[in-house]
Structure 1
Amino acid sequence: MHCSQRLYCFYFICFLSLMCPVLLPPPAESDCSCNITNSRCDEFGVCRCDPGWDGEQCERCVPTPGCLHGSCQQPWQCSCEPGWGGRFCDKDLLVCSEQQPCHNGATCVMEDSGDYTCLCPAGFHGKDCQLKTGPCHQRRTPCKNGGLCEDADGFAAELTCRCLAGFTGPRCETDVDDCVMKPCANGATCLDGTNRFSCLCPTGFTGRFCTVNVDDCASRPCLNAGRCLDRAGGFRCICRPGFTGTSCETPLGDVGKPPRTTGNSSHHGDRPLKVTVSERSTARLSEMQLILLLVLAGLTLGAVVLTAALVLQGHCRNCGTAPCWSSSSSQRGQTSVQRAQQDECHFLNAAEPEKKKLNTVVM
């Protein structure tokens, strides 16, 4: 835009601003009937009250909050009605004459604050002199362990004690044994206290009542990949092939050897379990050497048995009878005749050296 054009626009705007009040119509007269001392009218003709005033035309003052039987001339006042007093007009000034709250011949007196006081005669006390000076009030309470003394507001001939939980007796002097019902489980020891008890749990259990079984496998006591089975108060290890022991700590090749004590230990429950390893200075046979030795021993024993069988068979052939050796099942089935032949066979075998000797003499 050219400079002359901008100047022209500026003059035009100034002219309009001067001519607008002349062109606008005059404002209509307001019909607001508000109390101009306590409020004002808004653009819609509605009364807007000052603080402390209320009503459609803001003609009513607001009393003090909490004022019951009073009124106000100015905001936040509480002027009491007849027969009422106090800051909030909530005290009945005619209570002594109309209600007579004091008992047992006491005198009712009104105070400046609007409250009343009862002047009790001898032997009575309380706000309204309704309590008699009975056994509980005449001397120091005899109830022990926090017991409450009761004497029917002083009218009872003898006092009684209301005991707190955990105590009993005429004067609440006896502590109740909280372990009578045996609340502790699994053989735990119950410790009595003041209105409470505690359980001393055995090994392997925990909880308030010793009912929770401790997971003895949580510490992984089984060695060499053994499987742990949790039990009440302990654990059991199922060992892999080739291992044995309470915690699967001993290889099967080391069974029967004297242990070597080391500084390592594990725990079974709360008891320390010593894990020992043994060493021997002497050389031991390997597994292959042991198998070879057993095979040789078996072959030797078989040869001995076969040789004995052949010798017995040769003797029986010389006798001309059935073999003297047989299986255990055939021996059980022999007849009495076969037993006699065997006896004869043994007899001839014993006499054979004598026959040889005679033949030698004749020759």
Structure 2
Amino acid sequence: MSALQTAVLLLLLSCFSLIAPPCTGGGSVCSCNITNSRCDEFGVCSCDPGWDGELCDRCVPMPGCVHGSCLQPWQCTCETGWGGRFCDKDLTVCLQKQPCQNGATCVMEDSGDFTCLCLEGFHGPTCQKKTGPCYQRRSPCKNGGLCEDADGFASKLTCLCLAGFTGQRCETNVDDCQMTPCATGATCVDGINRFSCLCPAGFTGRFCTISLEDCSSRPCLNAGRCLDRARGFHCVCQPGFTGTTCEIPVNRSNASINASINASTNSSTNPGHRSPGWERPVYDDRPLKVTVSERSAASLSDLQLLVVLVLLGVTVCVVLLTAILIMWGRCRDCGHAPCWPSPSQQGERNSRQAPRDDPESQSSFLTAAEPQKKKLNVEVIQT
């Protein structure tokens, strides 16, 4: 092959590499836009910021762009008839909708907004208001009143007053004490849309309806709680007592004992106070019986019984597992021999171990051999 042929071959290979797809992945051709994305190992296009689409060939417009498009990311090129930064201003509003009233002229601005040039005697954003009494002079309404003249088309103005004021020009303060809201002879003081009550001695509250003297003598017995009322008081009794002053026990058998205790407590803490029908208790020598109610032992609940059964089952499983592991260890030490020998093998093992283990058998064996030794010694001496 000549040098010219080699050069031509290299030139063809380089041209083929230029026209080949920009990237491949997973054995498939990736057709992503190489300037706006990259191709991963699976042949999927990963777009750069500002680009979107399956092939990353569609730009992302400016956020908030309504009637616009883009050639580059974050642009907002307005469509025909729309303007403004976000293409949300209708440029045909003056021609189609004609928002200006009363003969005003509509003018479009560069920002996309419109302005109404009002005729003489009119004003407002769309020239909808007439130069009426409220606009021609300063508002005559007092104390924060709002001047109204029907957008200037009314011949006379009116004042819309705030709460607490009245009159043609809102100049009069409403008398809030006119309905005499204060009770028990209290003095009412008028304010701006409010009032206050100056209570006499012994009363309190917004309307002076709460008496301070009803509960001062502590009329509620047996730790009852006293509540002041407009006329009198009310006792909130503790459990087990009832009555106007919580003087009646719910258990009638102990009524006399509790009444005596309450009366003695009252006389010691407040000698001047005597409840109606109070008499000094009379004590006799009869023994006082006290009944103690015994509460039976509560049985186990279903949840507690379930827990006990689960713990019992776990304990049995642990014991069985321990026994199995011990027996398996013994069988492993035995090797191939059976772990539980037969009765005959057990007897032979015992017979073999008896001479070594039993001290009595050893002593009897020695005693039986001693005469034979003496006999042999005598025969030797005679010879």
Match of 1:77 in 2: 75
Q: 1:86 to 1:218 in 2, by over 3 A?
A: farther
2:55 paired residue among 41, 54, 57: 57
Q: Which amino acid aligns with 1:203?
A: A
Q: Which amino acid aligns with 2:166?
A: T
Aligned-pair CA distance for 1:55: 1.4
Aligned-pair CA distance for 1:134: 0.3
The 5 Å alignment of 1:212-231 reads 212-214=210-212, 217=215
Q: Distance in 2 between matches of 1:119 and 1:165?
A: 39
Q: Distance in 2 between matches of 1:231 and 1:167?
A: 35
Tell whether the 8 Å contact from 1:204 to 1:233 is kept in structure 2 after alignment: no
The 5 Å alignment of 1:1-363 reads 28-214=26-212, 217=215
Name the SS for the 2:94 alignment partner. Answer: helix
Q: Which amino acid aligns with 2:69?
A: S
CA displacement 1:194-237 (0-9 Å, x = unmatched): 1111122233333323334447656989xxxxxx99787999xx
TM-score (norm 1): 0.52
Q: Distance in 1 between matches of 2:34 and 2:199?
A: 85
Q: Which amino acid aligns with 1:74?
A: Q
Aligned-pair CA distance for 1:105: 1.3
Greater Rg over alpha carbons, structure: 1
Q: Distance in 2 between matches of 1:229 and 1:119?
A: 72
Tell whether the 8 Å contact from 1:70 to 1:79 is kept in structure 2 after alignment: yes
Name the SS for the 1:97 alignment partner. Answer: helix
Q: 1:180 to 1:49 in 2, by over 3 A?
A: same
Q: 1:232 to 1:129 in 2, by over 3 A?
A: closer
Deviates more, 1:30-39 or 1:169-178: 30-39
Q: 1:186 to 1:34 in 2, by over 3 A?
A: farther
Q: Distance in 2 between matches of 1:211 and 1:232?
A: 5
Deviates more, 1:99-108 or 1:129-138: 99-108
Q: Distance in 2 between matches of 1:231 and 1:67?
A: 68
Where structure 1 has 5 or more consecutive residues not aligned to the other structure, the ranges are 1-26, 222-227, 250-363
Where structure 2 has 5 or more consecutive residues not aligned to the other structure, the ranges are 1-24, 220-225, 234-261, 273-383
Aligned residues: 218
- What is the root-mean-square deviation in Å for CA atoms of aligned residues? 3.6
% identical aligned pairs: 76
Tell whether the 8 Å contact from 2:106 to 2:117 is kept in structure 1 after alignment: yes
Q: 1:33 to 1:218 in 2, by over 3 A?
A: farther
Aligned-pair CA distance for 1:248: 5.1
Q: Distance in 2 between matches of 1:159 and 1:204?
A: 52
Q: Which amino acid aligns with 2:114?
A: Y
TM-score (norm 2): 0.50
Tell whether the 8 Å contact from 2:26 to 2:43 is kept in structure 1 after alignment: no
